[in-house]
């Protein structure tokens, strides 16, 4: 397997949250292959930038993604977060 990925850790964390808005940070870390502490930092950065909102539900957090916001990358800044998540979350064979 390659030593690099097409998606940044931020994008992978966001995708995990899109797939399960009640996911635990530890579970995200396991899926992405990074530490829980790194996930916490990324979630905080996404929250600070307005891409995520956190709501406390008992002892857990539930996340909402601001899908209308533009991607922060220069090359694709005319695309929205929701557009990326739609492509990456589509079942196999439906993303054409």
Q: Could you list the pLDDT tens digit for every one of the 96 residues in the chain?
A: 567 888 999 999 999 999 999 999 999 999 999 999 999 999 999 999 999 999 998 989 999 999 999 999 889 889 999 999 999 987 765 544
- The two counts, helices (H) then strands (E), for the chain are 4, 2
The pTM score is: 0.87
Nearest to 34 by CA among 16, 50, 60: 16
> 36 exposed, middle or buried (CB, 10 Å; 0-12, 13-18, 19+)?
middle
């Amino acid at each position: 397997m390659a030593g690099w990925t097409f998606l940044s850790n931020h994008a992978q964390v966001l995708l995990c949250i899109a797939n399960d808005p009640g996911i635990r940070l530890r579970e995200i870390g396991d899926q992405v292959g990074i530490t829980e502490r790194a996930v916490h930092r990324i979630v905080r950065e996404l929250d600070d930038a307005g891409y995520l909102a956190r709501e406390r539900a008992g002892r857990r957090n539930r996340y909402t993604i601001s899908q209308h916001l533009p991607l922060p990358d220069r090359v694709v800044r005319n695309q929205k977060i929701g557009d990326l998540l739609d492509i990456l979350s589509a079942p196999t064979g439906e993303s054409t």
